[in-house]
Amino acid sequence: MVRLLLIEDDPTIRTPLIRALRERDHAVAAAHTAMGGLQTALDERPDLVILDLGLPDLDGIELLRMLRAVSSVPVIIATARDDEAAIIRGLDAGADDYVVKPFTAAQLDARIRAVLRRGPNSPQSVAAAVVGDLRIDPGTREASLAGANLDLTPREFDLLYHLASRAGQVVTKRELLTEVWRVPYGSADKTVDVHLSWLRRKLGETAQAPSYLHTVRGVGVRLSAPGDRR
Ligand code: CA
């Protein structure tokens, strides 16, 4: 089931579209303002966002720029026909596709499938990360160390996969907060430390005697295979 977020202020479009998308077996959350949509996008982490441009509190393009600062979720703009300049600005601002009003639910659904097919988050296109004896498969969401399955929470899994896909590089807490937690950087950076300590325990290591997770003081953390000193 694809989890959609529809950001649309016009109830005569929103209500029937929600119904039509649900009939097509999608889970649909909806927001009728830009800021409400941004909050829902961060809280619910939908698979795809359908974004109207004419919103009461903020232009949809502005919302898209704010969203892109913290999230790579696919976005389809839904806009009026005479708004070509806005479409171009929307694509330049990071939208993945657009539909022109009025559009049918069938057309939107086909575009949703097309965007998700080519998206970096589709299971087929995401390779397992292998570092030393560590293997993390985002398709099946399984992680193992030397063949033994690791029992990770969803957040621990995302954190480990993010670090493993950048193995050998120092990843900052800011990047982890925006890419894994999808929240703006702020006072919550202790969250990263806490999750890292949980991960270390599950990997059978400590900050003082690391095997895979190396803290780089004042900068961030680097995942690398034991013995792979950099
Ligand atoms: Ca509108």
Burial of 160 (0-12, 13-18, 19+ CB in 10 A): buried
pLDDT digits (tens, 9 = 90+) for 138-186: 877 889 999 999 999 888 998 999 999 889 999 998 888 878 877 766 6
Which residues hold their Cβ within 5 A of ligand 1, which is an ion? 9-10, 52, 54
Q: How far, in Å, CA of 58 to CA of 67, rounded?
A: 13
CA-to-CA separations, 75 to 22, 110, 143, 175, 189, in angstroms, rounded: 18, 14, 29, 21, 28
Give me ligand 1 centre to Cα 55, in Å: 5
Residues 112 and 134 in one domain: no
Structural contact between residues 74 and 47, judged by C-beta atoms closer than 8 angstroms: yes
Q: Residue 117: helix, strand or coil by DSSP?
A: helix
> How far apart are the C-alpha atoms of 184 and 41, rounded to whole Å?
13
- 92-137 pLDDT, tens digit per residue, is 889 999 999 889 999 999 999 989 887 655 444 467 889 999 999 8
Tell me whether strands 48-52 and 75-80 are parallel, antiparallel or unpaired.
parallel
Q: How far is the CA of 2 from the centre of ligand 1 (A)?
A: 24
Ligand 1 center–CA 108 separation, angstroms: 17
Residue 106 within any structural domain of the chain: yes
Residue 200 has pLDDT above 90, yes or no: yes
CATH for 152? 1.10.10.10
User: Which residue range forms the structural domain that includes residue 28?
Assistant: 3-117
Residue 17 Cα to ligand 1 middle (Å)? 14
pLDDT digits 0-9 by tens, 13-55? 999 999 999 999 899 999 999 999 999 999 888 999 999 999 9
Distance from the alpha carbon of residue 30 to the mean position of ligand 1, in angstroms? 13
Report yes or no: 123 and 137 within 8 Å, Cβ to Cβ. Answer: no
> At which of 97, 117, 137 does a domain end?
117
Residue 1 token pair: 């089931």
Residue ending a domain, among 65, 82, 117, is: 117
**At which of 82, 117, 152 does a domain end?**
117
Confirm whether 55 is domain-assigned.
Answer: yes
Q: Is the residue at 228 inside a domain? A: no
Using the mean position of ligand 1's atoms as its centre, give its distance from the Cα of residue 118 in Å. Answer: 28
